[in-house]
Structure formats: C-alpha cells, structure tokens
C-alpha cells in the first residue's frame, strides 16, 4: 500500500480531515502528523515534521495544509529535497506533478478554491511525472539551487 505523510496547523483542520479520508479511500496508508484541534500550532513546525518524515523514505508524497497554504509551503521548500507546490486549480495540480515532480502539495483551509481540493488531489495522484528531457533538466536545475 503506498504511503503518504500529511500534516496541518489549526487553520486547516477540517480540510485536512477531508483530504486524509479521501486518500484512505483511494488506497493510501496515511501517516497523519497534524493537529486535529483548533488550538494554535506553528505551520513551520508542522512542515518540518512532515518533511523530515518524508525524507526518511518510503512515502509517495506529502500533503501540507495551513490557513492559506502559503506559509507551510514556503517552510517546506526550505527543507532539502522538498518540492512543495501550492496548486490553485486542477491544471496547476497536474502540472506540479507532471513537470515539476512536486513531492508535496499544499492547500489553505481558509481559501475558497474554484476547483474542489479533493479534485486537485485526485489530479495530482493520477498524473505521471514527465520523462521529457527538458522537464528533467529543469527539475535538476531547480534542485541544484539548494546549494
């Protein structure tokens, strides 16, 4: 069974619960590291927790959520090896996987998306990473920016 790591702060409790339930229904084993309470927690801590766990290996991808998705995705992208996308629609979720091989996706619990978040997650998980040379070259350049 493919494994996914998921974490969130207090700004996305309900949205994250929906995502976790959906992932389980799609056959994923979910390692949920977030908070299920509306009590304040810091999104950089949640990003680090999930990304460190992901970097241990054995995970297909990760999902992060905070109030807007912005803070938690920026935090995740500070961690070596992480490519966290913040898709705003189905097309962006698809391209995050196909072109960028994003290993995390992030969402905001306080954002009104035009496309349902679960449809974005479904698009992401059903998309294959492009093996086209130009996308591989760009991914390599992206990761080289880590120094």
Which residues are tagged catalytic?
Answer: 99
Collect all residues with Cβ–Cβ distance below 8 Å to 15 and sequence separation of at least 6. 8, 65, 107, 108, 109, 117
């Amino acid at each position: 069974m493919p494994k996914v790591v998921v974490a969130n702060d207090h700004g996305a409790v309900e949205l994250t619960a929906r995502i976790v339930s959906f992932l389980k229904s799609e056959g994923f084993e979910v390692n949920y590291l977030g908070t299920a309470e509306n009590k304040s927690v810091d999104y950089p801590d949640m990003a680090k927790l999930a990304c460190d766990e992901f970097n241990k290996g054995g995970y297909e991808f990760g999902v992060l959520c905070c109030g807007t998705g912005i803070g938690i995705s920026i935090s995740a992208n500070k961690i070596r090896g992480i490519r966290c996308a913040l898709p705003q629609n189905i097309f962006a979720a698809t391209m995050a996987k196909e072109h960028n091989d994003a290993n995390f996706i992030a969402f905001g619990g306080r954002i009104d998306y035009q496309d349902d978040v679960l449809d974005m997650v479904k698009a992401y998980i059903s998309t294959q990473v492009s093996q086209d040379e130009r996308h591989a070259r760009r991914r390599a350049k992206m990761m080289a920016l880590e120094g």
